[in-house]
Amino acid sequence: MGRVSGSGREGLFDGLFGRGAVGVSDPDWLQALLDAEAALARAAERAGLVPSGAGAAVTAAARAAEFDAAEIGRQAALTGNPVPALVRALSALVPPDARSAVHLGATSQDIIDTAAMLLAKRAIAAIRADLLVAADKTADLARAHADTVLAGRTLLQQAVPVTFGLVAAGWLAAIDESRRELGWLARRRLAVQYGGAAGTLASLGGSGPAVAALLADELGLAEPVLPWHTERLRILQLAAALAGVCAALGKVARDVTLLAQTEVGELTEGAGDPGQGGSSAMPHKRNPVAAVLVLGCARRAPGLLATLAAAAEQEQQRAAGAWHAEWETLSDLLRVTGSAASWSATLLTGLRVDAARMRANLDASGGLLLAEHVAALLAPVVGNLAAHDLVAGAAARAAADGTGLEVALLSEPDTAAALAAAGLGAAELAAALDPAGYLGAAAEFIRRGLAAHAHVDNQPRKGASSGER
């Protein structure tokens, strides 16, 4: 279901690109800004800088429903961001003896950056939950279809046999890796921002670092080594991880759309809701809606990542425009990533595998997918290049006349002689052309993927180190 927009209504496209539990609407942003202000007031009280009870008073007033987001937005046009207007509105709701705790020592960027980190943390929890569903369902597919043979395809052409279990294991590895990366970021790189006017917290004297540590504790975010007003690597890392999620899920969705084509028919999406997959013009259509919408979300991620990468180079102690470019861009990236994850959970939960169609499509080539296998068996007798050329010639004849690779191999005297010299009689050649006998390490790779999946949350990010507190 789509999130409620800032206007209080669901948008026309929210059910498509705002699906799932990621919240980055105006109310979500407003509450995150207020949560940052409230946590700062509590931290200041814990540090002994404001009267007892001030933190609780600010927290009690910091409820988004009590604020006029539209009016704050209008006032933001006067100052370049919504925080000054928010601070005035919040102060008006706080008892006079607690107002000194509002926005103590902070600058607008402190509150907006910290709110962005809160939104990211909440969004990552929702995204990872959907990724876990998707990964578990993919693991089920890998287990169930470890021996289901289908045509492996390279450059969109049939290549050699694989198993659908191996295909699913490949999907699983990418989903698990993206989930692991998000978990690491949530624990280590989502940090509070608290630097005051220019990153020195001068207005707090020597108390600034202590308040920053308490603020991090209040919000459950990391404490950075120092303020990061114009050092935006953590934003870029977050964006890259979100784009990585979209890439992993887009790969799954693209494979599904290709294998769900009418002429291929190896996969179909589950029925889902009544009418899902229908066409406005063609009554017979059953479109792969979930996969298409995953791709629609995923296609937007690279552009959003590029904008955030461009915005990462910022001037001196406060950026003139680059910081401002981050707000809606990051929101959009969180939103489409959350939607892609939610649609992927639905897609993989209902995905239907037609093993018989997979085998029929594989057999339709008349054994051509096993040409590499036959060449490998001939190579010890005639050499690698000669074996390749002999089998390539037979494959070309088989494709031209439709007789199949076995007939083409045996009908050419030189090739038949080489087969005989290699000890490949009729029975041995038939075995060599059995797809199930040429799967290499597919079973082992599936086992490894499933074993890794079972321990995703216990595996540290390789090479990770951080100075965050």
Which residues carry out catalysis? Answer: 279, 318
Beta bridge partners of 19: 2
DSSP 65: G
**114 vs 97, 362, 384, 454, CA distance in Å?**
26, 54, 62, 33
What distance in Å separates the CA atoms of residue 29 and residue 41, rounded to the nearest whole number? 19
What distance in Å separates the CA atoms of residue 417 and residue 409, rounded to the nearest whole number? 10
What distance in Å separates the CA atoms of residue 37 and residue 46, rounded to the nearest whole number? 14
At 134 the three-state DSSP class reads: helix
Structure tokens at 277: 């997959």
Q: In which region does residue 463 sit, left (phi positive, over 0), alpha (psi from -120 to 50) or beta (all else)?
A: left
CB 234 within 8 Å of CB 317: no
User: How many other CB atoms are found less than 10 A from the CB of residue 85?
Assistant: 20
Beta bridge partners of 267: 353
CB 35 within 8 Å of CB 60: no
